[in-house]
Amino acid sequence: MSITVFVPRDSSALSLGADLVARAIVGEAARRGADIHLVRNGSRGLFWLEPLVEVATPEGRIGYGPVAPEDVNALFECDFLHGGDHHLRLGLTEEIPCLKKQERLTFARVGITDPVSLDDYRAHGGYRGLARAIGMSGGDVVEEVTQSGLRGRGGAAFPTGIKWKTVLGTEAPQKYVVCNADEGDSGTYSDRMLMEGDPFALIEGMTIAALAVGADHGYIYLRSEYPYAKQVLDEAIANARDAGYLGADILGSGKRFELEVRVGAGAYICGEETSLLDSLEGKRGMVRFKPPLPAVQGLFGRPTIINNVISLASVPIILDRGWKYYHDYGMGRSRGTLAFQLAGNVKYPGLIEKAFGVTLRELVRDYGGGTATGRPVRTAQVGGPLGAYLPVHQFDTPLDYEAFIAIDAMLGHGGIVVFDDTVDMAQMARYAMEFCAIESCGKCTPCRIGSPRGVEVMDAIIEGRDRQHNLALLRDLCDTMLNGSLCALGGMTPYPVLSALRHFPQDFGDAPAKGA
Amino acid sequence: MTAPKESDYGTPKRLGAKEITLEIDGTEVVVPEGTSLMRAALEAGIGIPKLCATDSLEAFGSCRLCLVEIDGRKGYPASCTTPAEAGMKVRTQGSKLSNIRHGVMELYLSDHPAECRSESGSGVSEMADLARTLGVTDIRYGDAVRTHLGAIVDNSNPYFRFDASRCIVCSRCVRACDNIQGTFALTVEGRGFESKIVASMDQSFLESECVSCGACVQACPTDALVEKSVIEKGAPDRSIVTTCAYCGVGCSFRAELKGDELVRMVPEKAGRANHGHSCVKGRFAWDYASHSDRILKPMIRSKITDPWREVSWDEAINYAASELKRIQAEHGRFSVGGITSSRCTNEETYLVQKLVRAGFGNNNVDTCARVCHSPTGYGLKTTIGESAGTQDFDSVEHADVILLIGANPTDAHPVFGSQMKRRLRNGGRLIVADPRRIELVRSTHVQADYHLQLRPGTNVALFNSLAHVIVTEGFVDEDFVARRCEKPSFEKWRTFIAKPENSPEAMASHTGVPAELVRAAARLYAGVGVKGSGPDGRVNSAIYWGLGVTEHSQGSTAVMGLANLVMATGNFGRPGVGANPLRGQNNVQGSNDMGSFPHEFTAYRYVGDPAVRGSFEAAWGVKLWAEPGLRIPNMFDAALDGSFMGIYVEGEDIAQSDPDTEHVTAALSAMECVIVQDMFLNETAKYAHVFLPGSSFLEKEGTFTNSERRVSRVREVMKPRAGYADWEITQRLSNALGYPMHYQNAGEILDEIARLTPTFKGISFDKLDRVGGVQWPCNDEQPDGTPIMHMDEFVRGNGRFMMTEYVPSEERSTRKYPLLLTTGRILSQYNVGAQTRRTHNVAWHGEDRLEINPHDAEDRGVKDGDWVGVTSRAGEIVLRALISERMAPGVVYTTFHFPETGTNVVTTENSDWATNCPEYKVTAVQVMPVMQPSEWQKRHRQFTEEQLALLQQGETEAESAELQDQRA
């Protein structure tokens, strides 16, 4: 009986040498005549432990990490294949506190299963949601999703069920389901982890969405920087099609759903849903105005569900366990869980799926273990490059959509980037403008001209030129961008700028803010 | 006189049936559902700042100046992209909105030349005006910022410049190129601040795919894209609406002037034929009017070898009249005649035929429509009872299937070509029947379902085989035929067309088109597999044709064949269908309507009809001849026989445009008095004895009638440069001949036409000024005209099916002449080129070229640009080759825009059996590489040099005489 060894194929693990480790293990096993079965699983999301090698034992999966290729020989020597002791031994992986404390609903299988194994997927509860959905009316499926309280995990937090209802209710000869997998926010990676670690969850979610609203074609718009995700998705889609989960007659229901992966061309703005649709149509990715909503006139002018990876991948469990199960997590109007992504200057970076309501302090301190540099935390940017910088005194705000809006911040896609006390917030404000200038599609004026002007004004402030004039100009410019921009890129770039200015005025040459 | 600019409501009009009421700035506003807030406000007279929005384009939402506040909505939505909703409460003004707009404008101006805001700007920048209105003067970002001020100015286009430093990347130009023109030549390259407008693959405008229609220039809200004439002459301060004198689309233009100087032509949005669009000719190619080649003094000479002598108007007119009288005295009443032109106004044309009939006392009047659409008139009159197209242009918007035959709208009728492209992009299906692979067969976002690439001269064979499929596969609209057509003629036709010899399989050997393709195309025309947008889901199929149908020995048969097809499928009498001839010149329809043919009075009424003739005799106070007169080719034959000795030619260049040039010039040489009334010393004038300087369309009042029967006003933009509008010259000649005319203005001529022509009843300058262009028939039942004819019954009562047996042309390829030459136009040039050759349009097309398939070229050792001789049994010409995949093997093509080419030296005397329309589209030729011009071309060059010398001599003498006068 062979022993199953897990070495992640997730990009984060690969970047830390997982392939070399896997090769070393296979080579060493062969040399020693050990009968092993290597599974290339997804990542558990505990990046400081990657490559995290696991071995299936009668007691459960024992983790070792971070493993370097040169450790492999020693691991064999310690009989790690039977859970042997070694200084890299972590014990039962699921008992690792950072993992154990999480509430993994969407990521329940990520890091556990073989991402492209349909059997593994089904063995872990996969495709039960679809099986149930096939027996329901489209309207009932939409209602289930609506009741669950699921909101768009891409950042806008629009109720998913409402979006679906619009598509369902719009008569058209053709409808589409599009997955926005253009995960471009700095410090975010949950989409990638999900696609690399459990692609069937996304495929199943999209299939349920398609059947619910009567779409027969879907696209995953994947950013070009995720080549491994593309491999995994393509393989998983092929496997699903071969098994009748995709194609002309899904599970004998007589319903068709075709799915394909389309790769973007490196523009951040194509993560904005309407630009994404333009790009998918083969056009230059430019932001469309709304209305018409994509749910009414989306891809190729047809009603289109366009949702983020995590939103869609959360659907199977909602259909499987019922809306109430999911709804029971969270707080206020933020129901279920969010896959927070801890990054930046943090000791233990990684993915933390928790119900809404956890605080930033808990995540940064209890999960992240403070900064990697050991210096005091000064701020964290939540929600990607367009998110606000929060001072430490706001770290007790519960991570909840509405609570964050109340402090002029946002949860966005759940990315959290931590900074220590050496950060220069004026430079961070400048960076926000620069990011916008580089990534602007160039359609609307506040973003196209405003963002380079923002960089120039910040340069003047940083150099101390005519500071009061330029600070006033910066505030006016932020106001113009905030209120005048066509989409969230220009419209939210002022968030990091103004939050930096508000909470850390001393970095801009002003007096310190109260309470800072 | 009108305001310098048309109103711009920001977004297109919506025609929703449901009206909604909302409140804007406290005012209750009612608009059709789907209307933008911007349009709702602007229509109500509430101003909203805007730059990226214009009502010829769908909203884009980029400039962010038109933001408003809406009760119950957060933020500041753009009014251009937000649809009005019932009960909305909208505010367009407020300090917050003012701040945002100010902020946006300040950003714009931080990357814009400062002089734009000053008085020294071009004066045509919407942005400069808006910056002033918003009061944005202080640009706080300073000078040390990134800008586009160093951008290189593209001056390559002869008519407009592109200065990227003045560009705000609003994409109005890109969208205009895409959605209005349909060329897709422009795009935005780069992103963010690096975004810039580029033509094609970042080429200069001239090198790019740009067709210079000017839609981008018109759309530009700054002066980044602006007419060079505006830069040179300054911003216009007034405008006059008039009608273009180029093709049969009949675009309405606002001639914009500064003082008395014409600065630019801007297509009128309210124009019903063009809806604010134009082509390179109409918008830009009008400078010929002030070209130094214009002849502005009357001239006479007794022999064509004599120098011209500049004389007074009186002397010229009296000399012409005395010569005509002398000739009639010596050679009889029928020895003189006149030719009208489709380029003249209705009033001018009417007056020439009146002069001939009443003044000359015969019916020897003909028009250049003889050589273009006469078979259309004949064929349609015979089958459905009226010599005109059945629809308006806008009908194409409702067509589900378009069958385009022998027409190349994107070159010859560009504005309609763009409208057709728009319909095709929106789902219309297309069948092209043409020996050439014209642009519509396949171009950006347009692709024909079928291209029936038939051999020249086999139209009737093709139409018969299409009809055969309709009849034998059960696609006849039996109900329509039973209700609307003559049963016996239909039954006879059905039997005929169903015969096996008319099947696609049998006809394929003639047409060269595979039978399956013909069958598939016929099924598509019949609506098989098409979602219909007509009443009860009926498929609307429309046929459009041009001279590729008419200019054949079986031209009239072909037109009747098309009418048969349309009747058999019930595609008459509603929007989206019909029989639609695309008229070549601006007033082909009008010159035909005006009684220019030797056998017909106005509105196609036979001269032999006593009642009709009586009405003219009563009105004109003179006895009229009851027999038809000579057609143009008969005039030439008679001249060579010695029985036709004098001719009055107004605005037509028969020596260049008519077939078999050497026959024409021999005839002209044989005449004793050739009177030419034209702007230039054209080819015919080189054979003339009297030259009467005519005026351009910019210099006179009148009307043109376009392809859709729309009578539109032509208005005087500048005084006639030679002193008289053309109708006045005709009137003076008539008076000198002893037949008095006393019109005070062109409007009185139109009034007379309306009195004497039932289909023109009530049409007057006054009415046209009030309601705009009117489509005849205009009468008591249809006082504002008739967009779509034959709605409930045909003009002739029941439709009549005509037999259309295919008779192959005598002109066919032989061993000696193995290729078939077909001729036509190109976008930038117009007909004989008298106008366009004298404009910068030569930048695109400076010579006629012979288009030849690579295979045929290879066979003959011809490379692109080589000189080749084209020989037919009529003559030989030499021109340069253009190797082109557009041509099918065995077929060559050229244009006839340049007199030195002499294209019509090789075309033959073959003509339509019914109307004598020349068979321009089929000439058997051989093509061979050569080293020198043809004999004809050498003679022509020498003759032209001599004639120019004689002109020069006359002018020099006149100048010295004038000098002496001044000294004395």
Report pLDDT for A196: 98
**Contact between A445 and B168 using a beta-carbon 8 Å cutoff:** yes
Report pLDDT for A514: 60
Strands (E), B613-709: 646-650, 673-678, 690-693, 702-705
**Contact between B76 and A485 using a beta-carbon 8 Å cutoff:** no
Residue B140 has pLDDT above 80, yes or no: yes
Report pLDDT for B341: 93
Strands (E), A258-336: 258-263, 304-308, 330-331, 334-335
Distance (Å, rounded) from C-alpha A387 to C-alpha A496? 6
Which residues, 6 or more positions from A289, have their beta carbon under 8 angstroms from its beta carbon?
A274, A486, B59, B60, B61, B78, B81
The answer to whether residue B231 neighbours chain A at the CB level (below 8 Å) is no
**Contact between A444 and B61 using a beta-carbon 8 Å cutoff:** yes
* Angle formed at CA B650 by CA B649 and CA B653, multiple of 5 degrees: 70
Distance (Å) from the C-alpha of residue A451 to the closest C-alpha of chain B? Answer: 8
pLDDT tens-digit map of B457-481: 999 999 999 999 999 999 999 999 9
Q: Could you say which of A438, A445, A469 has the minimum Cβ distance to residue B62?
A: A445
Interface test with A, best of B191, B222, B426 (most A CBs within 10 A): B191
**Contact between B108 and A477 using a beta-carbon 8 Å cutoff:** no
pLDDT tens-digit map of B653-688: 999 888 888 999 999 999 999 999 999 999 999 999
Is residue A516 very low, low, confident or very high in pLDDT (cuts 50, 70, 90)? very low
Q: What percent of chain A has pLDDT over 70?
A: 99
Contacts of A452 in chain B (CB under 8 A): 145-146, 192-193
Strands (E), B291-428: 299-300, 309-310, 336-340, 365-367, 401-405
Length of chain B: 968
Q: Could you say which of B78, B145, B192 has the minimum Cβ distance to residue A438?
A: B192
Residue A456 has pLDDT above 90, yes or no: yes
In single-letter form, the type of residue at position B583 comes to R
**Contact between A284 and B81 using a beta-carbon 8 Å cutoff:** no
Q: What values do phi and psi take at A148, rounded to 5?
A: -65, -20
Is residue B118 very low, low, confident or very high in pLDDT (cuts 50, 70, 90)? confident
Contact B886, B787 (CB under 8 A): no
Residue B279 has pLDDT above 70, yes or no: yes
Number of C-beta neighbours around residue A227 at 10 A: 12
Contacts of A442 in chain B (CB under 8 A): 169, 188, 190-195
Min mean pLDDT across A137-151, A181-195, A375-389, B949-963 is at B949-963
Q: Could you say which of B62, B96, B145 has the minimum Cβ distance to residue A444?
A: B62
Contacts of B140 in chain A (CB under 8 A): 469, 473
Report pLDDT for B3: 57
Q: Is A42 exposed, middle or buried (0-12, 13-18, 19+ CB in 10 A)?
A: buried
Residues 110-129 of B with CB under 8 A from A: 110-111
Q: What values do phi and psi take at B794, rounded to 5?
A: -75, 155
pLDDT tens-digit map of B416-470: 999 999 999 999 999 999 999 999 999 999 999 999 999 999 999 999 999 999 9
Contacts of A173 in chain B (CB under 8 A): none
| CA-wise closest residue to B720 among B708, B732, B734 | B732
Which residues, 6 or more positions from B464, have their beta carbon under 8 angstroms from its beta carbon?
B497, B502, B507, B561, B804, B806
Report pLDDT for B1: 44
SS (H, E, C) A178-239: EEEECCCCCCCCHHHHHHHHCHHHHHHHHHHHHHHHCCCEEEEEECCCCHHHHHHHHHHHHH
Contact A42, A196 (CB under 8 A): yes
What value does the mean pLDDT of chain B take?
A: 94
Which residues, 6 or more positions from B474, have their beta carbon under 8 angstroms from its beta carbon?
none
Contacts of B96 in chain A (CB under 8 A): 483
Residues of A with CB under 8 A from a CB of B: 267, 269, 284, 286, 289-291, 437-453, 456-457, 469, 473, 476-477, 479-480, 483-486
Which whole number is the average pLDDT over A131-153?
97
Report pLDDT for B968: 59
The ipTM estimated for the assembled molecules is 0.93
Which whole number is the average pLDDT over B1-26?
87
The answer to whether residue B63 neighbours chain A at the CB level (below 8 Å) is yes
Report pLDDT for A97: 95
Number of C-beta neighbours around residue A156 at 10 A: 15
Contact B684, B654 (CB under 8 A): yes
pLDDT tens-digit map of B76-94: 999 999 999 999 999 999 9
Instruction: Give, in order, the Cα–Cα distances in Å from B192 to each of A129, A435, B68, B505, B717.
Output: 43, 11, 25, 59, 45
Strand partners, B443: B446
| CA-wise closest residue to A317 among A326, A330, A308, A327 | A326
Distance (Å, rounded) from C-alpha B90 to C-alpha B88? 6
Instruction: Give, in order, the Cα–Cα distances in Å from B821 to each of A82, B889, B906, B923.
Output: 89, 11, 9, 5
* H runs (alpha helix) in B695-791: 726-737, 746-756, 765-771
Distance (Å, rounded) from C-alpha A398 to C-alpha A393? 12
Report pLDDT for B4: 64
| CA-wise closest residue to B373 among B914, B893, B811 | B914
The distance of Cα B646 from the centroid of its chain, to the nearest Å, equals: 31
**Contact between B107 and A446 using a beta-carbon 8 Å cutoff:** yes
**Contact between B192 and A450 using a beta-carbon 8 Å cutoff:** no
Instruction: Give, in order, the Cα–Cα distances in Å from A331 to each of A149, A327, B154.
Output: 10, 9, 60
The answer to whether residue B17 neighbours chain A at the CB level (below 8 Å) is no
The answer to whether residue B70 neighbours chain A at the CB level (below 8 Å) is no
A-chain residue closest to B187, CA distance: A284
**Contact between B192 and A447 using a beta-carbon 8 Å cutoff:** yes
Q: Is A361 exposed, middle or buried (0-12, 13-18, 19+ CB in 10 A)?
A: middle
Contacts of A469 in chain B (CB under 8 A): 140
The answer to whether residue B81 neighbours chain A at the CB level (below 8 Å) is yes
Distance (Å, rounded) from C-alpha B567 to C-alpha B494? 12
Q: Could you say which of B75, B108, B144 has the minimum Cβ distance to residue A445?
A: B108
Is residue B15 very low, low, confident or very high in pLDDT (cuts 50, 70, 90)? confident
Distance (Å, rounded) from C-alpha B863 to C-alpha B664? 33
Which whole number is the average pLDDT over B710-722?
96
Strand partners, A330: A335
Q: What values do phi and psi take at B714, rounded to 5?
A: -110, 130
Strand partners, B243: B252
Distance (Å) from the C-alpha of residue B107 to the closest C-alpha of chain A? Answer: 6
Residue B957 has pLDDT above 90, yes or no: no
Q: What values do phi and psi take at B882, rounded to 5?
A: -125, 110
In single-letter form, the type of residue at position B717 comes to V
Min mean pLDDT across A166-170, B106-110, B781-785 is at B781-785
Distance (Å, rounded) from C-alpha A111 to C-alpha B952? 95
Distance (Å, rounded) from C-alpha B269 to C-alpha A502? 52
Q: Could you say which of B63, B103, B144 has the minimum Cβ distance to residue A479?
A: B103
Q: What values do phi and psi take at B136, rounded to 5?
A: -90, 110
Q: Is B96 exposed, middle or buried (0-12, 13-18, 19+ CB in 10 A)?
A: middle
Contact B358, B352 (CB under 8 A): no
Contact B925, B856 (CB under 8 A): no
Distance (Å, rounded) from C-alpha B501 to C-alpha B460? 13
**Contact between A484 and B104 using a beta-carbon 8 Å cutoff:** yes
**Contact between A289 and B78 using a beta-carbon 8 Å cutoff:** yes
| CA-wise closest residue to B644 among B334, B360, B362, B359 | B334
The token pair that represents B638 in the structure block: 């008679």
Instruction: Give, in order, the Cα–Cα distances in Å from B329 to each of A271, B300, B333, B647.
Output: 88, 21, 7, 15
Distance (Å) from the C-alpha of residue B62 to the closest C-alpha of chain A? Answer: 4
Residue A515 has pLDDT above 90, yes or no: no
**Contact between A289 and B194 using a beta-carbon 8 Å cutoff:** no
| CA-wise closest residue to B225 among B279, B154, B151 | B154
Which whole number is the average pLDDT over B499-526?
97
